Amino acid sequence: MNEKAPWLDIIHLPRFTAMALVTSVQRIATAAKSVGELPKPIALRLKILRDGTTEVEHVLAERRQVGEATGAERTEADVNVDEAIRGLESWLSAMKRIPGKAAKASAAYAAYFGEGLTFITVDYDTEWAEIATRLKHSDESGHSAAIEEMGGKEVLDHVRKMHKEYGKVLGITTVQAAPVKNPLTVPLANAFDALRRFVAVVLAHGANSDIDPSVIPVVTALLEPLEAQRAKNAGKRGRDEAPVEGEVTPADGEEPTGDEGKKKPGPGGSD
């Protein structure tokens, strides 16, 4: 990365994920084609910016190739197992109201949900372990057999399946591929530096808009993708909450993961 230029920090960029950054730069490049020939300083900076995001794309592709689970995949697996557990809770609650099944259903319910559903609000690794413990106890205590006897085999099988997938995605029940040698941290930092420098040059070009109004359409077109990202961020946070400006978040470029109240990804883990 080029030597740090502290004066560039005055340029506040929208918040991006790695993929959103790549997409926005592609939109800038498309906009550049629509305005005709660019001034040489802007054209040069755009080339450097595109080269930087190409490296980000390369690292993202490499991570996908080695099978490293993304934040989105972990979130999906977490949601799936949560819903499976909630489905079992609802089913057992219904069985507790049926004569002839109430006793067994109540016992199974107490084994799984004696402490409520708080165990699916904890971090990923702890949640996996909590579910594993309950399934093991259910099997050993006869609750699993009772659930199947009452007609809940499909419900319980779904919990087992989602729990198994959860363990795979978290790397608990399968060996995760070794992290790639080129993490996103450096390429993202380089791309962000290039984007700030590009914006600085575009703004400098637009500084004379009071003298030469013809620069306005060019500057507007080149910066519109960034304004679109800023608006998207604002929409996600609600109209009454200002968008957060800054670097790619989290540091690895993935979307923030986990439900509200969940401390993800796990004790001592990093994402």
Same domain, 152 and 223: no
In a domain, 193, yes or no: yes
In a domain, 257, yes or no: no
In a domain, 270, yes or no: no
List the chain residues with pLDDT less than 70.
1-4, 63-70, 174-183, 236-271
In a domain, 125, yes or no: yes
Same domain, 162 and 210: no
In a domain, 108, yes or no: yes
Same domain, 215 and 203: yes
Same domain, 162 and 195: no
Look at residue 17 in the predicted model and tell me its pLDDT. 83
Final residue of a structural domain among 126, 146, 170: 170
Look at residue 246 in the predicted model and tell me its pLDDT. 37
Final residue of a structural domain among 170, 189, 223: 170
Look at residue 217 in the predicted model and tell me its pLDDT. 95
Final residue of a structural domain among 131, 153, 170: 170
The domain total for the chain is 2
Same domain, 34 and 62: yes
In a domain, 258, yes or no: no
Look at residue 181 in the predicted model and tell me its pLDDT. 54
Look at residue 69 in the predicted model and tell me its pLDDT. 61
Same domain, 93 and 109: yes
Same domain, 146 and 187: no
Look at residue 234 in the predicted model and tell me its pLDDT. 83
* 82 within 8 A of 94, measured Cβ to Cβ: no
Structural domain span for residue 220: 6-67+179-237
Query: How far, in Å, CA of 155 to CA of 147, rounded?
Result: 9
